[in-house]
Amino acid sequence: MTESNFSARLSSLLHFIYPDVDSHILGSQVVEAFWPEDTHRRRQPRKPGNNLWTQNDAVLITYGDSLIDGYHKPLDLMHDFLLNHMKGVVNGVHILPFFPFTSDDGFAVTDYRKVNPQLGEWADITRIGSEFHLMSDLVLNHVSSQGVWFNAYRQGQKPYDKFFFEADPSDDVSMVTRPRTTPLLQEVETAMGTRHVWCTFSHDQIDLDFRNPDVLLEIVRIIRLHIDMGVRIIRLDAVAFLWKELGTNCIHLPQTHAVIQLMRLLMDYATETVILLTETNVPKAENLSYFGRRNEAHVVYNFPLPPLTLHAMMSGSARYLNDWQRTMPPAPLGCAYLNFTASHDGIGMRPAEGLLPPPEIGQIIDTIHEIGGKVSMRSLPGGGEAPYELNCTFFEAMGRTFKGTDDLHFDRFLCSQTIPMSLEGIPAFYIHSMLATPNDLEAVERRGMNRAINRHRWDYPELQEKLADPETIHARVLAALSERLKIRAQQPGFHPNATQFTLNVDDRIFGLWRQSLDRAQSIFALHNVSDETIEIPQADLNLIADESWVDLLSGETIKAGPVEMAPYQCRWITNLV
């Protein structure tokens, strides 16, 4: 793509998004916003390929204040934890919204250009970004009702007087897809009179109106700021809801995809290597659409993985996990999946729609309730509710199966976390999974929010004391996961784009064959999701007879005969050590 092609592509996208605006003038404004004076862009775009990531890549997900001590800045404590416990284990860190905010634990941003002073300052962010691939959240669908922009909107100040999406209470919004059950419109008094603003998530989170190109330009300027501060992975939060159009479901609209394509175009020409990650907690086909034609997100979340892994471990059957994985396409060239089981939110159930039968979902919900977890609901178009997410730490969720409790909690959890390490894509781990954090029921009661159950703030001295004792569950889990991640990082067969084939063996086994890009290494990744000992006929694995095969996890040489799998055991059987 030449310089003229860049301008033509940019102009074409802007014309599609804003047909009534001069796309050439707006294009110049976009370029100025992303490449201000004294900066420049690449002459040729970065071509799609498999070189943006390797098997070394793994991400830790954390809040900036997941670790506190009442004295040091939380970002200082996080930096210390990363250096002392995560160096060589992960090389990326997703610090959840670290901006000033009013609610939703950071996702109601008051000022995108500042770091929350209760966490630290930009220098703390850039320091972490100099040692780890840093991911930040671009909360681009909405801002805080108490933020700078919305206060200016209420006062009628330009350009903010047209920054927010308005509707009339008489408008038919019955088709709108909602992740929450609160009323969609909120009445507010402004200098222009009474207005009703759109609130997809909560009344403290007011949706921006991207029909106004000034909104897009301001978001582009913010992206540039964050890149300059060391951010290299930009997570587009709640991006599926970005464009609204009355009479539609207001999710996944063509203009939304065009905005992402515009951002990808800018990243392809940026001198910095910046990856776009879309956060779209929706069923499979809709989620995969955000790869576009290799011209939208570099990376998408593998959202069906958490509920399907949860079901496999609770039921003792990998049937539905296997069925889903067999139908999953490899990521397009230059793209990858982000594999995870837990995040700061709950375990999303929408991606399980059509993959798990309702009775199986019902059993999961019953089991989560028995553990002490919560279930959050969403509104359905036309009325009614359905489960939106399960609120429980993944470690606690592994404490019980459909059969009840047993003494295999640790083994079951370790198996569940090995699965995302084995899959095609980049693995990501929530800090509370790495630390085997229990449900924080006190926080749920105190804060009146289900998601607080999985957002514990550790007293750092207390945590350090627990991690120093190798007998604590926290130290055992961190050590076991760290060891497996270090082993994984040495295997070309676990490159995020290495060949993957789902094995057809026992329903209690989730098995994958991975092959390195140069075809030199094969890995048979086997996961027994049951509490039973299983023997797999070696012929089912197609182990090449003339090769020597070793289990990377146990160090055991695989000899002729059946491969035995203990309850919840995982094996990485390879021909290349």
Q: What is the pLDDT of residue 547?
A: 78
* 298 marked ligand binding residue: no
* 506 marked ligand binding residue: no
Residue 500 makes CB contacts below 8 A (sequence gap 6+) with: 330, 423, 424, 512, 513, 514
Does the predicted TM-score (pTM) go above 0.85?
yes
Q: What is the pLDDT of residue 2?
A: 59
For 63-109, how does the pLDDT look when each residue is reduced to its tens digit (9 = 90+)?
999 999 999 999 999 999 999 999 999 999 999 999 999 999 999 99
E strand or H helix at 299 = strand 299-301
562 within a domain of the structure (yes/no)? yes
Q: How confident is the model at residue 1 (pLDDT cuts 50, 70, 90)?
A: very low
Task: Output the 3-class SS for 347-408.
Answer: EECHHHCCCCCHHHHHHHHHHHHHHCCEEEEEECCCCCEEEEEEECCHHHHCCCECCECCCC
Q: What is the pLDDT of residue 178?
A: 84
Q: What is the pLDDT of residue 285?
A: 86
492 DSSP 8-state letter: G
Residue 3 has pLDDT above 70, yes or no: no
Residue 218 makes CB contacts below 8 A (sequence gap 6+) with: none
**Regarding beta strands 336-339 and 374-379, do their DSSP bridges make them parallel or antiparallel, or are they unpaired?**
unpaired
The phi and psi torsions of 195 (rounded to 5 degrees) equal -130, 155
> Could you write out the DSSP letters of every residue in 122-134?
HHHHHHHHTTSEE
Q: How many CA atoms lie within 13 A of 166 on its CB side?
A: 18
521 within a domain of the structure (yes/no)? yes
For the question of residue 237 being annotated catalytic, the response is: yes
Residue 402 makes CB contacts below 8 A (sequence gap 6+) with: 314, 315, 316, 363, 367
* 345 marked ligand binding residue: yes
- Across the range 467-496, mean pLDDT stands at 98
Residue 197 has pLDDT above 70, yes or no: yes
Q: How confident is the model at residue 35 (pLDDT cuts 50, 70, 90)?
A: very high
- Which of 40-54, 142-156, 218-232 has the lowest average pLDDT? 40-54
Amino acid symbol at 501: F
Which of 428, 420, 436 shows the shortest CA–CA distance to 473?
436
514 within a domain of the structure (yes/no)? yes
Q: How many domains, in total, are found in the chain?
A: 1
97 within a domain of the structure (yes/no)? no
- Across the range 279-289, mean pLDDT stands at 87
334 within a domain of the structure (yes/no)? no
Q: What is the pLDDT of residue 382?
A: 72
320 within a domain of the structure (yes/no)? no
Residue 4 three-state SS: helix
Residue 79 makes CB contacts below 8 A (sequence gap 6+) with: 124, 127, 128
Q: Apex CA 340: angle with CA 119 and CA 466, to 5°?
A: 55
513 within a domain of the structure (yes/no)? yes
- Across the range 354-376, mean pLDDT stands at 93
Identify the active-site residue in 65, 124, 137, 237. 237
- Average of per-residue pLDDT values in the chain: 95
What is the span of the domain harbouring residue 522? 499-574
- Across the range 336-365, mean pLDDT stands at 93
* 142 marked ligand binding residue: yes
What are the C-alpha distances in Å from 445 to residues 203, 331, 449, 453, 512? 21, 42, 8, 9, 42
Q: What is the pLDDT of residue 376?
A: 86
Residue 257 has pLDDT above 60, yes or no: yes
* 42 marked ligand binding residue: no
The residues facing 208 across adjacent strands are: 164
Copy the structure tokens of residue 150. Answer: 């919305």
- Across the range 393-419, mean pLDDT stands at 98
What are the C-alpha distances in Å from 208 to residues 116, 140, 142, 171, 550? 22, 8, 5, 18, 55
Amino acid symbol at 297: A
- Across the range 472-481, mean pLDDT stands at 98
Q: How many CB atoms lie within 10 A of CB 368?
A: 23
User: Which residue shows structure tokens 């840093």?
Assistant: 134
**375 with 483: CB under 8 angstroms?**
no
Q: Give the distance, in angstroms, between the CA of residue 455 and the centroid of all CA atoms in the same chain.
A: 16
557 within a domain of the structure (yes/no)? yes
* 236 marked ligand binding residue: yes
Longest dimension (CA), the chain: 80
* 235 marked ligand binding residue: yes
User: Which residue shows structure tokens 């793209």?
Assistant: 335
The phi and psi torsions of 236 (rounded to 5 degrees) equal -85, 95
For 436-453, how does the pLDDT look when each residue is reduced to its tens digit (9 = 90+)?
999 999 999 999 999 999
- Across the range 513-533, mean pLDDT stands at 97
Residue 539 has pLDDT above 90, yes or no: no
Residue 538 has pLDDT above 90, yes or no: no
The residue count of the chain comes to 577
**303 with 337: CB under 8 angstroms?**
no
Share of the chain above pLDDT 90, in %: 89
Angle between helices 460-468 and 473-488 (to 10 degrees): 80
Residue 257 three-state SS: helix
Q: What is the pLDDT of residue 203?
A: 96
Q: How confident is the model at residue 454 (pLDDT cuts 50, 70, 90)?
A: very high
Q: How many CB atoms lie within 10 A of CB 451?
A: 18
* 104 marked ligand binding residue: yes
Q: What is the pLDDT of residue 126?
A: 98
Q: What is the pLDDT of residue 18?
A: 98
CATH of the domain at 531: 2.60.40.1180
